[in-house]
Amino acid sequence: MYRNPFYLVWNKGWSFLFFLDGGIAKIEAKGFGISITTKVEEGESPLESADRLVSKEQRIKKSRYYSWVKSISEKTIY
């Protein structure tokens, strides 16, 4: 299969692949050891889908990081 990822300047480190799966438009993001896929919502461009997908992953990543930092700081207090 021919893969044609496109890159977004604002998010270096991520590559995106737009494809059809059973007639449903989907987008896959790969980067930083993570691979996530979502369908393109009705009326949404592939760039908007990529933005939504990666921003959601970055929020989750940031939340996990701050949770980890908090757990480390609580262990050092006691």
What is the pLDDT at residue 21?
Answer: 92
Q: How deeply is 31 buried, as exposed, middle or buried, from its count of CB atoms within 10 A (0-12, 13-18, 19+)?
A: middle
Provide long-range contacts, Cβ within 8 A and 24+ apart, for 32-40.
none
Whether 43 is in a domain gets the answer yes
The two three-digit tokens of residue 30, written as one number: 């790969």
In the chain, how many domains are there? 1
- DSSP state letter for 11: S
- Global pTM reads 0.63
Q: Which domain does 48 fall in, by range?
A: 15-77
In a domain, 5, yes or no: no
The answer to whether residues 52 and 71 touch, using CB atoms and an 8 Å cutoff, is no
Note whether residue 8 is domain-resident: no
- How many Å apart are CA 12 and CA 8, to the nearest integer? 7
Average pLDDT along the chain, 78 residues, taken 10 residues at a time: 52 82 90 86 86 82 85 71
